[in-house]
Amino acid sequence: MAAGTRPLWLNPRLVLVLFLVFLSGGLTGALVMRHNLRSRSEQPAVFYTIGGHQVAMEQLARELALNPAQTAQLEMILDDFVMYVQILQMQMDEVRASGQARILALLDENQQAKFHRIMADIQARRP
């Protein structure tokens, strides 16, 4: 380095450009977060799926004019219901996987390939 020259990272223009880049990135991030938080707060926070329909906990409490104790009890009931359905779904997934493994074990390689294509076609037709 020659005498009297500054290191590149001490160049005021470079420091200013880096500062502006970081500042604009921070502002962009803040605006995106603000937008996301605002859009989330406009929607009810807790949804339950009952009979294929999504129901918001806040909507039920408001429309049924539930008191706080009733709201807490309803939330516990719905939480239990959702957990029960999730457990049943996991058990059904395990049964399906076990059955598929047993079927694949009895098939040769060509039959296995056909079986996979048939299963893929069935999955593609499901809504």
Question: Minimum mean pLDDT among 27-41, 60-74, 95-109: which range?
Answer: 27-41
Nearest CA to 57 out of 70, 33, 35, 75 is that of 75
pLDDT of 2: 57
3-class secondary structure, 50: strand
Instruction: Give me the pLDDT at residue 44, please.
Output: 46
For the question of whether the overall pTM of this predicted structure is more than 0.85, the answer is no
Three-class SS string for 64-124?
A: CCCCHHHHHHHHHHHHHHHHHHHHHHHHHHHHHHHHHHHHHHHCCHHHHHHHHHHHHHHHH
DSSP state of 46: -
pLDDT digits (tens, 9 = 90+) for 15-35: 888 788 888 888 888 888 877
Confidence at 49, pLDDT banded by 50, 70, 90: low
